[in-house]
Structure 1
Amino acid sequence: MNSVDTPAESTVAPDPAGPAAPRRPRFGLLPRIAVAIVLGILLGLVMPEAIARVFTTFNGLFSGFLGFLIPLIIVGLVTPAIAELGRGAGKLLAATAGVAYLSTIVCGFFALALSLLVLPGMLDGAEVVSLENPEDSAIAPYFSIEIPPVFEVMTALVLAFCLGIGLTLVRRGALQESFEQLRTIVVRTIEAVIIPLLPVYIFGMFLGLTMNGQIWTVIGTFLAVVLLVFAMTVVVLLAQYTVAGLAVGKNPLRMLWTMAPAYMTALGTSSSAATIPVTLECTKRNGVPEAVAGFVVPLCATIHLAGSTLKITTFSVAIMLVTGMPIDIWALAGFVLMLGVVMIAAPGVPGGAIMAAAGILSSMLGFSEAAVGLMIASYIAIDSFGTATNVTGDGAIAAIMGRLSRGRVSGDLSVDEAPHLQGT
C-alpha cells in the first residue's frame, strides 16, 4: 500500500498530465491563525473605529455564509461517510468502527466530567457577560446581508442519517456517486474559501474583543483550558494503551513509546491522513499483523478522533462557563454522543473536525456565531496535539483488533475491502 487518501480526496482523479512540480512550503494555517490573533490584539488597541467597522462588516458576512454552509457540510460529509461504513470487510469493519466510536465517546465523557469538575474553579471570576456576535458588536458593521440556510441543522442531521443508512441497503449507483461528488464540492469549498478567509475572520473577532475590553478574559481562559487539555490527552493515551497492553499481553508503556514517531509526525503535519505511513509502521512494530494494521490504521484515521472530541468538549464547557450560558448536563451528554458520530465525517483538511462539529454546537448547545468562531480559533490553535492523540490511539485500536481477529484475518484488507479508503 503506497498511500491512502481520505474520503474527501478519494473522489479526485489523478492529473493525466503527470505529477505536478513540487510546491514551495507555504505559511501554514496555524501560524496564520497565531499572527491573526496577535495582530487583532495589538491593532485593537490603536485602530480607529472607522477601519475596525470594515472587519466587523466582513465578519458578519463570513459568519452568515458559514451558517448557510453548515447544513450542507453535514449532508455532504455525513451521508457518504455512513454509506461507506456500511460496506466493506464485514465483521472486522463493524467491530473496528464500534471500538473507535466507543473510544471517542469515552474520551468525550471523560473530558466532560473533568471539565465540569475542574473548570468552574479554574475559571472562577473569568466571566464575559455576553460574547458579542460580529453583527451585534458595539462596533457596528457598515451593512449586513442575511443568508438563510437551505434547512436547519437538525434537519440536515436527520436527512444525512436517513440517506446514509438507505444507501447501505441498495446497490451502489448514481445516487452514491452524487453524494461523493457533493462531498468533494463541500471539502473544496472549505479548502478554497473557508480556510483561507478564516485568519481574517479570527483577526476581526480578536480585534472586536480587544476594542470591547473582553480580550484578557478570553486569553486567560485559553491558557487554562489548553493546559487542562494537554494533561487529559496524556491520561487518555495511557488508558488506551493500558487496555491494549492487557489485550495483547505487552507492556503498555513500551507500546506507547514505539508509537512516539507517529505522535511527533502528527504534531508536525496536523493531519491524520499524512501520518498514516508512520502510524502503520509503528503499529506493525508493536506486533499487530500486517493485514490488520493495513486495514485498521487507515480506517481509524478517518473515524477515530478521540483527541479532537476531547478538545471540542472541553472548550465547549469553558466557553459556556465564561459567557454565562446555562450548563445542561443532559444536553452536553447528548452533544458528546452526537459528536462521536459527526467526527466520522471530518474532512482531511486542517480544522475539519471543528467545521463538522459547528452545526451541533449551535443546534444542541445554543452557541452563537461568535462562540462558534471562538471555538474554531481555540481548536485550531492546538490542532496538532489533538491530531497526535488521534493517530497514537489508532495504534492501540489496531492492537486490540489484532487480538480479536487473531487467526481469522488473512490477506491485505487495506484497500480492496475498504472502498471508502480507495483512491491510491
Structure 2
Amino acid sequence: MKFKFGLLPRIFVAIALGVVVGSFAPEWMARVFATFNSLFGNFLNFIVPLIILGFIAPGIAQLGKGSGKLLGLATAFAYISTIIAGIIAFFAATTILPKFMNGKTLTGVADPESALATSFITLELPPVFGVMSALILAFLLGIGMASTGSKTMLSFFDEFQAIIEKTISNVIIPLLPFHIFGIFANMAYGGAVAKILSLFAIVFIMIIALHWIMLMLQYTTAGSLNKKNPLMLLKTMLPAYFTALGTQSSAATIPVTLRQARKTGTNERVADFTVPLFATIHLSGSMITLVSCAIGVLMLTGGMPTFGSFFPFMMMLGVTMIAAPGVPGGAVMAAIGLLQSMLGFDQTMVALMIALYMAQDSFGTATNVTGDGALAMIVDRFSGENKVLKSDNI
C-alpha cells in the first residue's frame, strides 16, 4: 500500500518549518520567502473573483427554481451566525477581560508589519473585477440562467467551472503549503507575533476558546439536523481550518473548504454554491476576534463597553466586513470606519486594534471557513434538495 502524504500533514510541516527557518533566516532568505508570498498572493487575488463566478453562477442555474430560496437561506444563516458570534464574544469579553487586564497599558506596542521582510519585486496582477462585482454578476447570471432555462450559457459556465477546478487542483492546492511556509517564516523572521501576543495573551486565549465554542455550536446544530456526529463532521473540515490558519485568507481556502464540505455529505451542487458564497458573507470567527479586540482596547484605554453601543456596531460590522473578504487583515481594515464613528476610536486606539487583530487574524479566518462547512449542511437540510452525495462513515 502506497503511503500518501496528505494536505493536512503537509500544512503542519509547512507551519513548523516556517517558524524554525524564519527564526534563523538571514534577510535575503526572508525576502525570498516574501517574494514568493507576494507573487502567489497576487495570483490568488486575481483568481478569487473567477472562482466565485465559476462556482456560484452555474450553481444557481443548476438549482433552477430553488435558487432564489437557496440564496435567501444561505444569506440569512450566514448573517445570523455572524451576529450570534458577536453577541457571544461581547458577553464573554466583558465578563472575563476585566479580571485580567488591570494595570495594562498601551506602552511598547509596535506596528506588526514594520519588521517583516519585503519582496524583491512588486508585480501587480489586478483582478478582472472585484469580489463584490463577481458576487453580483454571479447572482445575476445564475438567476437569469435559471429563470430563462438557458442551456447555451449554462454549458459555457459548466466548462468555465471545469477550467477553474483544474487550476485549483493543479496549481493552487499544490502550492498552498509553500505559501503557508513563507507566511510563517516571514512572521517568525519579523518577530511581530511574539511581541504582540506577550502583551495580549489572555485576549488571544479567550478568542481561540470562543472560536472553538462557536464551531461546536455550528456543528452540533448541523449534526443534529442531519443526524450525524458533529465531532466527525468537524474532523472532516480540519484541513480547511489549518489551510486558512496559514493563508489568513478565506478566499484562498475555498478549494480546500469545498472539497471537505463535499465529504461531509452535503449535496454537491449546494456545496458548490454555498461555500464560495460563505467565504464572502460568513464571518463568525472574524466577528469574535474584532469584538473581543475592540473590547480589550476600550478597557486598556479606560473605556466601558456597553451592549447598547456594541450591538448596532455588530449589526453594521456583519455587513461591512463583506467588502473585504479574502485579504489578510481585510476585516479590520473594513471595520476602521465603524470603530471610529460608532465606538469613538482615535488614531492610537485604531493602531492598537490593528496590531492586536493582525496577530490573530488567521485564527478568525480559520473559524470562518470551518464554519462554512456546517452552514452548508444546514442550508442543504432546509433547501429541499435530494442528496447526490453520501457521507463516508460520518
Alignment check: 8 A CA contact 1:68 1:148 kept: yes
Verify: 1:209 aligned to 2:185, yes or no: no
Q: 1:35 aligns with which of 16, 40, 63?
A: 16
Aligned to 1:400: 382
Judged with a 3 Å threshold, the aligned counterparts in structure 2 of structure 1 residues 314 and 149 are, in CA distance, closer, same or farther, namely farther
- What are the superposed Cα offsets for residues 353-381 of structure 1, whole Å, 9 maximum, x if unpaired? x8x3548537624699998975564357x
TM-score for both structures, normalised by structure 1:
0.59
Alignment check: 8 A CA contact 2:290 2:357 kept: no
Aligned to 2:252: none
Written as runs of structure 1 = structure 2, the 5 A alignment for 1:89-128 is 89-119=63-93, 122=97, 124=101, 125=104
Judged with a 3 Å threshold, the aligned counterparts in structure 2 of structure 1 residues 187 and 340 are, in CA distance, closer, same or farther, namely farther
What secondary structure, in the 3-state scheme, does the structure 2 residue paired with 1:87 have? helix
Alignment check: 8 A CA contact 1:104 1:340 kept: no
Aligned to 2:46: 72
Written as runs of structure 1 = structure 2, the 5 A alignment for 1:268-279 is 273=258, 279=264
Written as runs of structure 1 = structure 2, the 5 A alignment for 1:225-304 is 225-237=207-219, 244=225, 258-267=229-238, 273=258, 279-280=264-265
What secondary structure, in the 3-state scheme, does the structure 2 residue paired with 1:28 have? helix
Counterpart residue identity of residue 190, structure 1: I
How far apart, in 2, do the equivalents of 1:63 and 1:199 lie? Answer: 9
- What are the superposed Cα offsets for residues 13-34 of structure 1, whole Å, 9 maximum, x if unpaired? xxxxxxxx95622462442354
Aligned to 1:145: 121
- Over the residues paired in the alignment, what is the CA RMSD in angstroms? 5.0
Judged with a 3 Å threshold, the aligned counterparts in structure 2 of structure 1 residues 216 and 131 are, in CA distance, closer, same or farther, namely same
Alignment check: 8 A CA contact 1:111 1:232 kept: yes
Aligned to 2:149: none
Aligned to 1:247: none
Counterpart residue identity of residue 217, structure 2: V
- Aligned positions, number: 337
How far apart, in 2, do the equivalents of 1:164 and 1:269 lie? Answer: 24
Verify: 1:361 aligned to 2:346, yes or no: no
Residue 175 of structure 1 and its aligned partner are, at CA, apart by 6.3
Aligned to 2:182: 200
Verify: 1:172 aligned to 2:142, yes or no: no
Aligned to 1:191: 173
What secondary structure, in the 3-state scheme, does the structure 2 residue paired with 1:131 have? coil
Alignment check: 8 A CA contact 1:311 1:379 kept: yes
How far apart, in 1, do the equivalents of 2:154 and 2:382 lie? Answer: 35
Q: 1:224 aligns with which of 206, 215, 235?
A: 206
Alignment check: 8 A CA contact 2:236 2:263 kept: yes
Judged with a 3 Å threshold, the aligned counterparts in structure 2 of structure 1 residues 36 and 312 are, in CA distance, closer, same or farther, namely farther
Residue 276 of structure 1 and its aligned partner are, at CA, apart by 5.7
Alignment check: 8 A CA contact 1:265 1:275 kept: yes
Residue 156 of structure 1 and its aligned partner are, at CA, apart by 1.0
How far apart, in 2, do the equivalents of 1:213 and 1:359 lie? Answer: 18
Aligned to 2:251: none
How far apart, in 2, do the equivalents of 1:77 and 1:58 lie? Answer: 28
Alignment check: 8 A CA contact 1:109 1:336 kept: yes
Gaps of at least 5 residues in structure 2 are 146-151, 242-255, 337-349, 390-394
Alignment check: 8 A CA contact 2:222 2:374 kept: no
Identity level (%): 10
Residue 230 of structure 1 and its aligned partner are, at CA, apart by 1.5
How far apart, in 2, do the equivalents of 1:172 and 1:22 lie? Answer: 42
Alignment check: 8 A CA contact 1:240 1:393 kept: yes
Judged with a 3 Å threshold, the aligned counterparts in structure 2 of structure 1 residues 198 and 73 are, in CA distance, closer, same or farther, namely same
What secondary structure, in the 3-state scheme, does the structure 1 residue paired with 2:363 have? helix
